[in-house]
């Protein structure tokens, strides 16, 4: 389920606590584009680079009429530290039971050095103001990703 999401599909609804415990849902962003990015873990090398790249283009993303929202399975304390350490200007949501990650099809079995574990596969969804998927990036390579997203927003 979920992994079949494609451009033009309705974005699955979500309602998750942000770093302050405030519930953030898809409905909060009616009329805006959303860059919803799922990442494996706070303060790990790839996730830090990706989040900082988004931070660095955030003003351009906002100018394109969009908001950035990050999602991982980390809890609020972890998110608060991560945001503070890198000055991230956007909310990070806690999907601790992976329910939203599953609905977006990004919760996958991963194989690291022969050890299998379940977690989030780095993925980004651009959602248009009507709540429809405008762009889908799976198995994201961090380098250049923020620019790809900007291009998708402006298209």
Active site residues: 47
User: Token pair 């961090």 is at which residue?
Assistant: 142
């Amino acid at each position: 389920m979920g992994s079949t999401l494609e451009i033009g599909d309705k974005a699955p609804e979500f309602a998750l606590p942000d770093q302050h415990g405030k519930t953030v849902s898809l409905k909060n962003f009616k009329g805006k584009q959303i860059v919803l990015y799922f990442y494996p873990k706070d303060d790990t090398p790839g996730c830090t680079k990706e989040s900082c790249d988004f931070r660095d283009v955030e003003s351009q993303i906002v100018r394109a009429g969009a908001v950035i929202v990050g999602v991982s399975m980390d809890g609020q304390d972890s998110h608060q530290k991560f945001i503070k350490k890198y000055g991230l200007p956007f909310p990070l949501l806690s999907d601790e039971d992976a329910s939203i990650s599953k609905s977006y099809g990004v919760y996958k079995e991963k194989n690291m050095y022969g050890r299998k574990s379940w977690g989030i596969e780095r993925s980004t969804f651009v959602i248009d103001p009507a709540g429809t998927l405008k762009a889908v990036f799976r198995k994201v390579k961090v380098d250049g990703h923020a620019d790809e997203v900007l291009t998708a927003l402006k298209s």
